[in-house]
Structure 1
Amino acid sequence: MKNFSYLILVFLLGIFCGQKKETKKSEVVKVEKKLIFLIAPKDFRDEEFKIPYDYLTNWGIKITVVSAETTEAIGMLGMKVKPDISLDNLDYKNYDGFILIGGAGSVFYWNNKKVWEICQYFNENKKLLAAICLAPITLVKSGVLSQRKATCFKDKRALEEFQNANVEYLDKEVVVDHNIITANGPQAAEKFAKAILDYLKKY
């Protein structure tokens, strides 16, 4: 009788373990999307690049790192990243999303007309646009955030840009307004990454 009870227990454990394995498989279903990560040549914010990059590539998302040049970019905390392609050589229409990484160096792109053009293309085609820290100001200046809600690093100049462009500033870590996702700094990097993933899973 003891042997019979033992066999039943083993059988039930086998079923339970099998169910757990199936759940794990479903959790790691790959998301077949392609994103552009735009970083400044100098002083991009390390965590705002690394945390979303690692998180999203773990889900199978393909990321192309872009900068003004293909020479090694240096983060504010010393991280070194070799861009895959220069901004001028980027064929951006083949991607599902355009992600602007922040940091003090993101000011470099605030008035970049090529970046504005890319932002406008993604917005007009209802594709994902996302920016973190000071990078949302590039979205503001490109015109895609007019009469919409967003957040950014709480800087006096940045808030003035929001006000002047008729953008509603929300004092939150992450704001999602249709196809545009914004975040306010490095402490929000993981939430930013998760919001990007959630959007890509839906669309």
Structure 2
Amino acid sequence: MANENLKGLKVAILITDGFEQVEMTEPRKALDQAGAETRIVSPKGDRVRAWNFTDWGDEFPVDVALDQAQSQDFDALLLPGGVINPDSLRIQAKAIAFIKSFFDAGKPVASICHGPWTIIETGAARGRRIAAWPSLKTDLRNAGAEWVDREVVVDGNLVTSRMPDDIPAFNREMIKLFSHAGHAQPV
């Protein structure tokens, strides 16, 4: 994936405390290796703290405060999961408006695990096939989406996966989808 086909692409990573560490760090590493410019966007202050499977993980610097973030400054969006992170973000109007603006503009979005909880709040889940953590199955169905038990699903401008074990497939399809966006160089 280090072929730099995403050179010039700006990717927002929307997170708050409690995101699953590997669901941010591994996709971010793949994006960076492909030449993308990734920025952590958060409603938190200077730092956000990860959840690392069973306990608190590392802290990461926030690049852009959510209050200052504008989707027009980015070409694509990454929504990591974890239980705490999307559950907190989905009740924050500014976070949902930020996510919705990517869908409204037709920009690509990648979401893994519990991340689709935030997509449900935007209304963008309706009519889509979405892979997510199994406990989201009913939530997605109630939102008008089809929950799919597959390691990765691409539905238009949205790529989703179920869990950390799916990250290699998620990264592959995310890079492919994002390569068609904004300022990315053609594949």
CA contact (8 A) 1:97 1:128 kept: yes
Given candidates 65, 79, 92, the residue that maps to 1:86 is 65
Structure 2 CA distance for aligned equivalents of residues 96 and 125 of structure 1: 10
Displacement after TM superposition at 1:128 (Å):
0.6
Q: 1:98 aligns to what SS in structure 2?
A: strand
**4+ runs deviating over 3 angstroms:** 26-30
Alignment match, 2:41: 66
CA contact (8 A) 2:6 2:179 kept: no
Structure 2 CA distance for aligned equivalents of residues 29 and 102 of structure 1: 25
Structure with the bigger percentage of helix: 1
Structure 1 CA distance for aligned equivalents of residues 171 and 67 of structure 2: 26
Higher Rg of the two aligned structures: 1
Structure 1 CA distance for aligned equivalents of residues 4 and 125 of structure 2: 33
Alignment match, 2:20: 45
Alignment match, 1:122: 102
CA contact (8 A) 1:45 1:101 kept: yes
Alignment match, 2:7: 31
Alignment match, 1:150: 130
Structure 1 CA distance for aligned equivalents of residues 112 and 145 of structure 2: 16
The answer as to 2:30 corresponding to 1:55 is yes
The gaps in structure 1 that reach 5 residues or longer are 1-25
Structure 1 CA distance for aligned equivalents of residues 97 and 30 of structure 2: 28
Question: Which structure has the higher relative contact order (CA within 8 Å, separation 6+)?
Answer: 2
Structure with the bigger percentage of strand: 2
The answer as to 2:152 corresponding to 1:162 is no
What code does the residue aligned with 2:106 have? Answer: K
Alpha carbons of 1:29 and 1:181: their partners in 2 closer, same or farther (altered >3 Å)? closer
Query: How large is the Cα RMSD of the aligned pairs?
Result: 1.7
26-35 vs 50-59, which deviates more? 26-35
Structure 2 CA distance for aligned equivalents of residues 117 and 30 of structure 1: 25
Alignment match, 2:185: none
State the identity as a percent.
23
Alpha carbons of 1:201 and 1:29: their partners in 2 closer, same or farther (altered >3 Å)? closer
Superimposed CA distance per residue, residues 51-82 of structure 1 (whole angstroms, 9 cap, x where no aligned partner)? 11111101110001111123321111212211
Q: 1:80 aligns to what SS in structure 2?
A: strand
Displacement after TM superposition at 1:30 (Å):
5.2
Q: 2:134 aligns to what SS in structure 1?
A: coil
Displacement after TM superposition at 1:187 (Å):
1.2
Structure 2 CA distance for aligned equivalents of residues 117 and 141 of structure 1: 9
CA contact (8 A) 2:10 2:36 kept: yes
Given candidates 156, 163, 167, the residue that maps to 1:185 is 163
Structure 2 CA distance for aligned equivalents of residues 53 and 36 of structure 1: 10
31-40 vs 110-119, which deviates more? 110-119
Displacement after TM superposition at 1:118 (Å):
2.0
Displacement after TM superposition at 1:28 (Å):
4.6
